[in-house]
Amino acid sequence: MNINVDIASTYLFSNKKLTMVAVMGVLLGMSIYIFMNSLLVGFDRTSNVSIFKSTPHIRIYKDDEISKPLLENKASKSIIINPKVVPSSNTIINYKDVMSLARKHEEVTLVTPQVTATVFFNTGKIQIPGMIVGVVPDEADIMFNISSTIIEGSFKDLKKDINSIAIGSGVAEKLSLYIGDNISVSSAKGVIRNLKVVAIFKTNNSAVDKSKTYIHLSTAQQLQKENNVYVTDLNVAVKKPEKADEYTADLSQFTGYKAEGWKQANEALMAAFRMRKIVITFVSYTILIVAGFGIYNILNMTVSQKINDIAILKAMGFKGKDVIRIFLTQAMSIGVMGVVGGMLAAATLITILRKVYIGGDIGYFPIDYELSKFIQGVVVGLVITFFAGYLPAKKAAGVDPVSIFRK
């Protein structure tokens, strides 16, 4: 064994308590770091899953237009200015062409039309406001994974009958509706249709469950007193939803309509997520750095205790870098033990918690073994250990033996 390593391990073993305290510090810091960051990944994953149940990756629609000055004057101010929203239909003209234009984008996997309208649902005397979403059932199912939220009936049945409807569990409850019951839907345009309930879904977002329903695209068009080219939105799915925002500019240009990514559409939620990410990142790094301070302190203490040893070692020919190696070896040994222990502790914690059922929107505790976070934790942990050890080691290397021997 190398003599520097030999000395380092003797110091570690002759002061087991101190060593264990330092190792425990790193172990706890490491496990919490990995755990919190894995949890963050889990949170984002479940949040995204629930967002994608009602929001497409990208939505293409006709944005409101603001009226332009009547007489454009480049040199000075325009002559007549009265900007306001131009009253025009919010339909996408020639939507089939627009769809095929959108499909040309290489990241796009699916484009499906949709008509959204606010309506009233009636059964007997009760009338409640709500929303109908007219869709192509198969495509909408792929887009929003509606089948996974169905608690009664089957979403597949929607496509068999043009006069059928899938309703949210809240709507069903309020109107006491069961599979096979009829519901009358009246639109703002005065059209009334009787539809048969074929499926009830539950998204765990009660606002959605209390108002949302899915019907056939053509039925929705009829309720809006429009023909079969009337479409308000095109929903787009892409290969990498994380990057949806990067494709919106292209899609706007391809199609000539406004394209909005899911992050933009859920700006408030995204802000909350960012906040969550900042807090968790900050806390997890802080804990690791505190563990680093533990190593730093304990090594500083060792250096002070062993100052005579350092002096005599330097007298007998150990170089500054040998002394650095002795103390850095101690720090890194503590670090490696702590990091390995921390990984095991984090893995244990995750193994236990991922089986815990939380309920509500979340279901099982949203955490999994995130390899990338384990790797990240090991790297960050070892880097912090290195610096926490290097500073005292550097101090030890700088000890002037003469000043010690004079005492």
Partner 1 sequence: MATIVETKNINKYFYDPVEFHVLKNVSFAVSRGEFLSMIGKSGSGKSTLLYILSTMDTDYTGELYIDNELVTGFDLDKLAMIRNEKIGFVFQFHYLLPEFTCLKNVMLPALKFKKLSTKEIEQKAYQKLELLGLADQALKTANKLSGGQQQRVAIARALINDPAIIMCDEPTGNLDSKNTKIVFDTFKELTVNMNQTIIAVTHDEEFAKNTDRTIEMMDGMIIKHTS
For residues 320 and 341, which CB has a smaller minimum distance to partner 1 in the complex? 320
For residues 162 and 312, which CB has a smaller minimum distance to partner 1 in the complex? 312
For residues 189 and 319, which CB has a smaller minimum distance to partner 1 in the complex? 319
What is the SS3 assignment for 105?
coil
**Cα–Cα dist 143/155, whole Å:** 13
Q: CA separation (Å) from 355 to 251, 294, 358, 367, 373?
A: 42, 33, 9, 9, 20
For residues 28 and 311, which CB has a smaller minimum distance to partner 1 in the complex? 311
What tokens were used for 199?
Answer: 């499926």
Rounded to the nearest 5 percent, the helix, strand and coil shares of the chain are 55, 20, 25
Parallel, antiparallel or unpaired: strands 126-135 and 212-216: parallel
CB of 311 to partner 1, least distance (A): 7
CB of 18 to partner 1, least distance (A): 13
For residues 125 and 406, which CB has a smaller minimum distance to partner 1 in the complex? 406
Q: Give 329-351 as a DSSP string.
A: HHHHHHHHHHHHHHHHHHHHHHH
For residues 198 and 396, which CB has a smaller minimum distance to partner 1 in the complex? 396
**Cα–Cα dist 245/241, whole Å:** 8
For residues 210 and 394, which CB has a smaller minimum distance to partner 1 in the complex? 394
Give the residue from 233, 271, 269 showing the smallest Cα distance to 56.
233
**Which residue's structure tokens are 């150990």?**
318
**Cα–Cα dist 131/175, whole Å:** 15
For residues 341 and 401, which CB has a smaller minimum distance to partner 1 in the complex? 401
CB of 348 to partner 1, least distance (A): 35
CB of 405 to partner 1, least distance (A): 6
Please give the residue ranges that form the binding site for partner 1 (CB under 8 A).
3, 6-7, 10-11, 14, 308-309, 311-322, 400-402, 405-406
What tokens were used for 285?
Answer: 């790094």
Give the residue from 256, 214, 234, 216 showing the smallest Cα distance to 110.
234
CB of 403 to partner 1, least distance (A): 10
**Which residue's structure tokens are 């009337």?**
230
CB of 17 to partner 1, least distance (A): 14
Q: Where are the alpha helices (DSSP H) in 83-211?
A: 95-103, 137-144, 157-160, 169-174, 206-209
CB 116 within 8 A of CB 233: yes
